[in-house]
Structure 1
Amino acid sequence: MKVVSINGIVSDGADYKLWLDRPYSAAGLKLETAELTGGDSRLTAARRQARVFNLNVVVGVSQMDNIYTEAVRAPLREALLAALDTEAAAVPLVVSDNDGAHERYVYVVVQKLDEQPDAEGMGAYFVATLVTHRDTTWRAVAPHTETWVVTASGQTRAVTNGSGRVARPVYTVQPTEQKTGAGNRYTQKKFVALPWWLPTTRDRPVDITNLDQLSNGGLDTAALVLADDISEEKNIGVVVDGQEVRRWITNFDTDHTQIWINIDLESGVTATLLNTIGSGDTVTFIVAGSATDNFPHNGIIRINNEVFTYSDKDDRTRTFLGVARAAKGSSAASHSGNGKMTGSVIEWIQHDIWLVYGPDGQARTDFSEDRNGASIYVEYDA
């Protein structure tokens, strides 16, 4: 096993050389016992404890060949110290097999960093004590993906775990083709990414076509009528978190149709993107440059116009886990991550809202007769 990098510091054998003492040591267990009356103690639980590594780092490996002067080594040392400052967040430690294959990682916190005496001079050799955060098992940098097309009920599929460790798969389930025939009330749908920047509100009327910017100032229902996608207002519905809800429509059969719903919204939450994401990158986690504490443990986020879902998060590392990109019909795009304060904005999308429509669509309840009777929302200071 060899070290590839830690938090962006690459073991290239020139600027830095990194290696671990006893890298194959296993995590210890904390054993809990219960005392029994008139008998011996019994083991009640075994909990995996954090692993501890000693990471050796040499700065300016070629110093003995007079390639590195102190003026050159000093900024390398400063970059190392900054990368190993984990007071605010854990960082990834990446290793591979000796031939460079099978890159894998764990998140670690640097408990202490000790300078070591070295013949090459002061500030050239360090030993960092690393403690794992959360998962103690090495996880693959490039996850294994299996695609299964189900064609009938009762089918099964076995997936071989290529490791001796417990796998933690993320499942994505989607239909293989659009439903057709009787009972298909809506043939088309569009996800509405509804951000919110105002204070918490309850049962507030919101124009979802305006905030989502489906078009400039509304939805072009005239184009939908012309294309025979819809013919009347009742062909349009709104589904919020799996439930079709009351909606009001104004300016139907125009290019600026508004669709209103009443909805509960919490005060908006945002963060910044730490690392740049390319449009072709495989994304299974997203690291934020600012706190993620106020985001829910799982949900929907948006960066620019791309929607992501996540199944878990780690506030210590400011990381969204179990991420699926290009979600809800959005397209993969590039997003800049320029550090803690200037990266792309990560927005919390609070509700799973879909605009559904079709030529045979029939709103579950026809609200057209009172579409102009939406609640009046008033804020004032007493």
Structure 2
Amino acid sequence: MNFKNTKEYAQNLDQQDALKDYRNKFHFPKVNGKEVIYFTGNSLGLQPKNAKKYVDEIMSDWAELAVEGHFQAEKPWWDYHERFAKKLAPVVGAKPSEVTVMNTLTVNLHLLMVSFYRPTQQRFKIIMEEKAFPSDQYMVASQVRFHGLDPEETIVEVKKREGEHHFRKEDILAKINEIGEECALVLMGGVNYYNGQVLDMETITRAGKEVGAFVGWDLAHAAGNVELKLHDWNVDFAAWCSYKYMNSGPGNASGCFVHEQYHGKKDIPRFEGWWGHNKERRFLMEPEFQPEPNAHAWQVSNAPVLALAPYLASLEYFEEVGMDRLIAKRDKIVAYLEFILQEVAEEVGRDFEIITPKERGTQLSVFLHGQGKDLFHYLMKNGVITDWREPNVIRLAPAAFYCSFEDMYEFGQVLKRYFSN
């Protein structure tokens, strides 16, 4: 597409944008009295304006009904989490029965590994990407130690090639085949938090299954951002946080996927709790656990409804729009952002190296040779909310729900002013 670096052109793109009205459904912070240009939807999404209504409903029910809110509220609390399955399933490419919402991301990965990391003397190794998000590294290493194994011998990292910023699919597949019958689990981030690379989850999943391993995905940066087909890809399990592209609020609840082939099994290892017990018999207080016939069997405790409310509110927008339209807007606005960066770099005589490969979602990670944090602080003070990652990367993630093409243009103007000072 032949883009132009003018305000008029950017405004015209916004007028043609089928999702333009959704920008007004989110709260924007202000800097110097002006709405910010918000590039950190990959860290914390903006607040949907309908979130307060959903929270207020629960607060009112609590005030007026107290304990009876569990059953008498308009959205009864005891089955509040069940409202997510039908709305979330299309976002991650799952059947509604394969999706549940509970806890937070790392907690859920721990719980899922109870079921899907079952080391034996021969098959015990875990394949991950190098420099995975630290929480994943800590979680996996602690799981390995819990089983009495040495992380140094058990965790196998797929590395980037010397001088490259992204992972090569052929290297991941080669490592899976190399480990072969020793591989118990392949667990990777579907979208790399640092460089924004989208891995070929379908092919990697197939390769892991072919050597007899379980395959799981951390979808923190993927859910609500890229196309996912977890059921069709035969993924065993996955989990994601909801506060990035899903806009549910800081530190909020995590979504989980468990493939239907594992549903209804009493003999699968699992840390069990009351809310995973057969819903129809839950209040009979029976001593023997009977799992729910779906992903809810991995629930442990009753739902934290005040936390879930903003997530349910955000999913209202996802249900209205659908992932196909979000992805179409994402591709166009990210392409325009890349164009703006290239135009400004040429105009000011600087090198902005985009280290995100073409396999990407919303995020562009930009290597700022020789600029450092001075530029980052300048952007923040001038109303461009972005994200710094050591040693020298700024992450830019223009979320399709609320970022505009004019934002991309204005960002370019702020960049130019910095280099003209």
- TM-score (norm. length: structure 2): 0.20
- Larger Cα-atom Rg: 1
- TM-score (norm. length: structure 1): 0.22
Q: Which has the higher helix share?
A: 2
Higher relative contact order (CA 8 A, sep 6+): 2
Q: Which has the higher strand share?
A: 1
